[in-house]
Structure 1
Amino acid sequence: MDLNTDFLLIISLIIFISSLVHGSIGFGFPMIATPLLAMITDMKTAILYIAIPTLLINLISIYSEGNFLQAVKKFYPLALMGMIGSAIGTQILIYSSTDFFKLLLAISIFLYLFIQKFKIQMQWIEKKRRLSVVVFGLVAGFIGGLTNVMASILIIYSLESKHTKKEIIQSTNLCFLFGKIIQIILFTMHGSFNEELLSISFFSLFIVMTGMFVGLKVKNKIPQEIYRKVIKVVLFLIASFLVYQTI
């Protein structure tokens, strides 16, 4: 699609809504923005458009929960595993970008919704902490590198590790931050960023800050249960459309 006013408007709206949701519940920016953008472009381009804005989103989310350095110290092993997995997934995405990755993205979203609905239990995670960090970090990073969505895998880990809401937000965003850093480095080395992508990315930073500011303000004013249900319905519809579009 050519770069024009309508396209910029669509991207701006997607990024603003995704940022607002992320600010309100602590995660969700890539999970909402990526599939929406993938509907009007390919998976690799969708990820490239929001790569730089995602860094800002993650930093704001971690910092807004407080004790930034403590969070980094606690969750950096998981984040490092996520970075390794993301590097592998990104390399595959760079050299073999296909519409199949849209289907994989839809499956990742359905997995997240399934986990939330049935509250799956995996008791070995708490018993074998080091192994679980390696397994879930690598798998989440790999899926994140391919689809830009690693929340579904990380939420399983966080729930089974009995993390608080604050810890879930900080660990998820830290993993995505590390994964996004290596992804941007690899995309840059491959020459994937062009002037158009960089222009839109840096322009999006202002929209991200606005959306996050509004989201953080309404965080405690909207009934979270109702809000989460609406988001789940939206995600289900997006994932369903991606399946339809791919098949």
Structure 2
Amino acid sequence: MDFTTDFLIIFSIILLVSSLVHGTIGFGFPMIATPLLAMVTDVKTAILYIAIPTLFINLISIYSEGNFIQAVKRFYPIAILAMIGSAIGTQILIFSSSDFFKLLLALSIFLYLFIQKFRIEMKWIREKKRLSMVVFGLIAGIIGGLTNVMASILIIYSLESKHTKKEIIQSTNLCFLFGKVIQIVLFTIHGSFTEELIITSFSSLIIVFISMFIGLKIKDKIPQESYKKVIKIVLFMIACFLTYQTII
């Protein structure tokens, strides 16, 4: 699709909706924006266009929960693992298609929701904390590098680790922040960014900031239990959308 006024309008609407959702529940921007934008362009280009807005949103999300430095100190190990995985996934994305991995991600979400429905617990995540952190950190990073959708895997890890809403938001966004930084570095090395793309990305920060601000105001009114229900509903919708996008 050529860089036209129509594209800018579509891009702006996608950013507005995705940022509002992210601000409200603490995650969701790349999970919503990437597949929607990929419908009018390709996956790699979609990831490139929202790379800078994603960094901005991740920083706001972590900071808005308070105790920024403490959050970094606590969750940097899994964030580094996610960054390593993201580097691997990004390299694969640069040279191949990621459609299969989208379907794989959707299936993993459906499996998790099935486990939750029948109350089958993944006790090994809490019993083997280091192993589970390495497994989920690397897998989340690889899938994030391939599809720009890392939060789903991290949320599965966080919910089973009995993290609070604040911890889920901070750990997820920190992992994506680390992963996005290395992804941008690799894309830059491969010459994927253009002047047009960079200008558009930075210009979009105005829309992102306003939508995030509104979303954050709404977020404070959501109770802990309701928040977890919302997460599961959003995960189900994302899995359905990823499946549809892969098959069609």
The two structures have a TM-score, normalised by structure 1, of 0.90
RMSD over aligned Cα atoms: 2.0
Deviations along 1:39-63, whole A, 9 cap, x unmatched?
Answer: 1111111111111100011000001
- In structure 1, the residue matched to 2:202 is 202
Secondary structure at the residue paired with 1:182? Answer: helix
In the aligned structure 2, how far is the partner of 1:67 from the partner of 1:221? 20
Shift in Å, 1:230 = 6.7
In the aligned structure 1, how far is the partner of 2:233 from the partner of 2:8? 26
Alignment size in residue pairs:
242
- In structure 2, the residue matched to 1:145 is 145
In the aligned structure 1, how far is the partner of 2:188 from the partner of 2:114? 39
Shift in Å, 1:111 = 3.0
Deviates more, 1:109-118 or 1:57-66: 109-118
- CA spacing shift, 1:158–1:201, aligned 2, 3 Å: same
**Aligned pairs for 1:31-180 within 5 A:** 31-96=31-96, 98=97, 101-116=98-113, 118-119=115-116, 121-180=121-180
Asked if the contact 1:62–1:68 (Cα under 8 Å) also holds between the matched residues in 2, the reply is yes
Aligned partner letter, 2:55: L
- CA spacing shift, 1:234–1:87, aligned 2, 3 Å: same
Shift in Å, 1:107 = 3.8
- In structure 2, the residue matched to 1:242 is 245
Q: Which runs of 5 or more residues in structure 1 are unaligned?
A: none
Aligned partner letter, 1:213: F
- CA spacing shift, 1:204–1:102, aligned 2, 3 Å: farther
Asked if the contact 1:58–1:177 (Cα under 8 Å) also holds between the matched residues in 2, the reply is yes
In the aligned structure 2, how far is the partner of 1:222 from the partner of 1:112? 23
In the aligned structure 2, how far is the partner of 1:111 from the partner of 1:16? 28
Shift in Å, 1:210 = 1.0
Deviations along 1:62-87, whole A, 9 cap, x unmatched?
Answer: 01111111010000000000000000
Asked if the contact 1:105–1:147 (Cα under 8 Å) also holds between the matched residues in 2, the reply is yes
Secondary structure at the residue paired with 1:40? Answer: coil
Deviations along 1:81-102, whole A, 9 cap, x unmatched?
Answer: 0000000110111122x2xx23
Asked if the contact 1:31–1:109 (Cα under 8 Å) also holds between the matched residues in 2, the reply is no
Q: Which runs of 5 or more residues in structure 2 are unaligned?
A: none
Aligned partner letter, 1:108: L
Shift in Å, 1:219 = 1.8
- CA spacing shift, 1:218–1:140, aligned 2, 3 Å: same
- In structure 2, the residue matched to 1:28 is 28
In the aligned structure 2, how far is the partner of 1:158 from the partner of 1:28? 15
Shift in Å, 1:207 = 1.1
Percent sequence identity over aligned pairs = 66
- CA spacing shift, 1:141–1:25, aligned 2, 3 Å: same
Aligned partner letter, 1:242: Q
